[in-house]
Chains A and B, each alone.
Chain A
Amino acid sequence: MAEVSLKHVYKVYPNGTKAVSDFNMHIRDKEFIVFVGPSGCGKSTTLRMIAGLEDVSAGELKIGDLTVNDVEPKDRDIAMVFQNYALYPHMTVYENIAFGLRLKKLPKDEIHKRVVSAAEILGITEYLGKKPKEMSGGQRQRVALGRALVREPKVMLLDEPLSNLDAKLRTQMRAEISKLHQKLQTTFIYVTHDQVEAMTMGTRIVVMKNGFVQQIDTPKNLYNYPANKFVAGFIGTPQMNFFGGTLLKTGDEVTIDFGAAGAKITVPYAMLYKAQPKFLNGKTPVCIGIRAEDITLAPDGAAEGKTLIKVAVSHKEELGNETLVYGNINVGGDVYGENGSIIFKYSGGRDIQAGDVVKVSFNLDRLHLFDEETERSVLPRIPEYNYLECTVKEGKLTALGGEFDLPGAVKCPDGDYDLLVPTDAITFGKGVKAQTESCEDINGARLAALNIGGKRVYAVNDGCAEGAAVSVGFDFKKITLMSDGETVVSPMPDKNAIDCKFVKRKIVENEEVNGKTVRRKTVRFGFEIEGEFFGVSDAVSQKIFAALGIKNSLSSSLRLECGADGLTVCENGVAATAEETLDYGAEKFLKCRVGEREVFVATDKEYSGAVRVLPDFGKVGLVETTRDIKII
Chain B
Amino acid sequence: MEKKKYKSKKAGETIALVLIYAVLIVISLVWLIPFFMLVILSFRGEAVGVSADYLFPKQWSFGNYVKLFTETKFPVWYGNTMLVSSVVTVLQTVIVLMTSYALSRLRFKMRKPLMNVMLILGMFPGFLSMTAVYFVLKEINLTQNLFGLILVFTASSAMQYYICKGFFDTIPKSLDEAARIDGASRHTIFVKIILPLAKPIIIYTILTAFIAPWGEYMFTSFIMLGDPDKFTVAVGMKSWLDNPTLAGDYFTVFCAAAVVVSIPITALFIWLQRYYVEGITGGSVKG
Residue positions of A touching B, CB distance < 8 A: 51-53, 72-74, 78-80, 82-90, 99-100, 103-104, 131-135, 137, 140, 147, 151, 164
Contacts and interface: CB of A to CB of B under 8 A. Distances in A.
A158 to B, nearest CB: 12
Nearest to A153: B181
B283 A74 contact: no
21 contacts: A51-B177, A73-B177, A74-B182, A74-B184, A80-B178, A82-B178, A84-B285, A86-B175, A86-B285, A87-B283, A87-B284, A89-B282, A89-B284, A90-B280, A99-B179, A103-B188, A104-B183, A132-B283, A132-B284, A140-B283, A147-B178
B239 interface: no
- Most chain A CB within a 10 A radius of its CB, from B175, B178, B197: B178
A104 B182 CA distance: 9
Given A51-B181, A52-B181, A87-B178, 6 more contacts: A51-B177, A73-B177, A87-B285, A88-B179, A132-B284, A137-B286
B180 A85 contact: no
Interface string B251-287: 0000000000000000000000000000111111111
B281 A89 contact: yes
B196 A90 contact: yes
B280 A73 contact: no
Contacts of B287: 84
B225 to A, nearest CB: 48
Nearest to B193: A88
Nearest to B196: A90
Contacts of B180: 52-53, 72-74
- Most chain B CB within a 10 A radius of its CB, from A80, A82, A88, A151: A88
B198 to A, nearest CB: 10
Given A74-B180, A90-B197, A82 B280 contact: no
Nearest to A137: B286
A133 B279 contact: yes
A394 B180 CA distance: 72
B286 A74 contact: no
Contacts of B177: 51, 53, 73, 80, 82, 86
Nearest to B182: A100
Interface string B184-207: 100010000100110000000000
A205 to B, nearest CB: 24
Interface of B: 172, 174-175, 177-184, 188, 193, 196-197, 279-287
Given A133-B283, A134-B283, A140-B283, A88 B175 contact: yes
Nearest to B173: A86
B184 A88 contact: no
Nearest to B178: A86
Contacts of A72: 180
A13 to B, nearest CB: 12
A74 B183 contact: yes
Contacts, number: 86
B284 A100 contact: no
Given A82-B174, A103-B188, A88 B181 contact: no
Contacts of A131: 283
Contact of B286 (A85, A99, A134): A85
- Most chain B CB within a 10 A radius of its CB, from A72, A74, A134: A74
Given A80-B178, A99-B179, A86 B284 contact: yes
B180 to A, nearest CB: 5
A326 B213 CA distance: 75
Contacts of B196: 90
A52 B176 CA distance: 13
Contacts of A79: 181
Nearest to A104: B183
Contacts of B280: 89-90
Contacts of A84: 172, 174, 285-287
Contacts of B181: 51-53, 73-74, 78-80, 100
Q: Which 8 A-B pairs have the closest CB atoms?
A: A133-B283, A100-B182, A89-B284, A132-B283, A84-B285, A74-B183, A86-B174, A133-B282
A86 B172 contact: yes
A134 B282 CA distance: 9
- Most chain A CB within a 10 A radius of its CB, from B175, B280, B284, B287: B284
Contacts of B182: 74, 99-100, 103, 147, 151
Contacts of A82: 174, 177-178, 285
Contacts of B197: 89-90
A133 to B, nearest CB: 3
A605 to B, nearest CB: 56
- Most chain B CB within a 10 A radius of its CB, from A83, A89, A132, A164: A89
Contacts of A100: 181-183
A53 B282 CA distance: 25
A87 B177 CA distance: 11
Given A53-B180, A74-B180, A147-B182, A89 B286 contact: no
A151 B179 CA distance: 12
A79 B286 CA distance: 20
A8 B25 CA distance: 71
B193 to A, nearest CB: 6
Contacts of A88: 175, 178-179, 193, 284
B283 A164 contact: no
Contacts of B179: 88, 99
A75 B180 CA distance: 10
A72 B281 CA distance: 27
A86 B196 CA distance: 15
B279 A85 contact: no
A155 to B, nearest CB: 11
A279 B149 CA distance: 85
B169 to A, nearest CB: 16
Contacts of B193: 88
Contacts of A135: 283
Contacts of A73: 177, 180-181
A185 B84 CA distance: 61
Nearest to A131: B283
Nearest to B195: A90
A49 B279 CA distance: 33
Contacts of A51: 177, 181
A82 B182 CA distance: 13
Contacts of B183: 74, 100, 103-104
Contacts of A53: 177, 180-181
B170 to A, nearest CB: 12
Contacts of A85: 284-286
Contacts of A90: 196-197, 280
A72 B180 CA distance: 8
A79 B182 CA distance: 8
B192 to A, nearest CB: 8
Contacts of A78: 181
A563 B182 CA distance: 44
A602 B282 CA distance: 68
A61 B177 CA distance: 20
- Most chain A CB within a 10 A radius of its CB, from B182, B184, B280, B281: B182
B276 to A, nearest CB: 15
Contacts of A147: 178, 182
B97 to A, nearest CB: 16
Nearest to A87: B284
A132 B181 CA distance: 19
B181 to A, nearest CB: 5
A89 B283 contact: yes
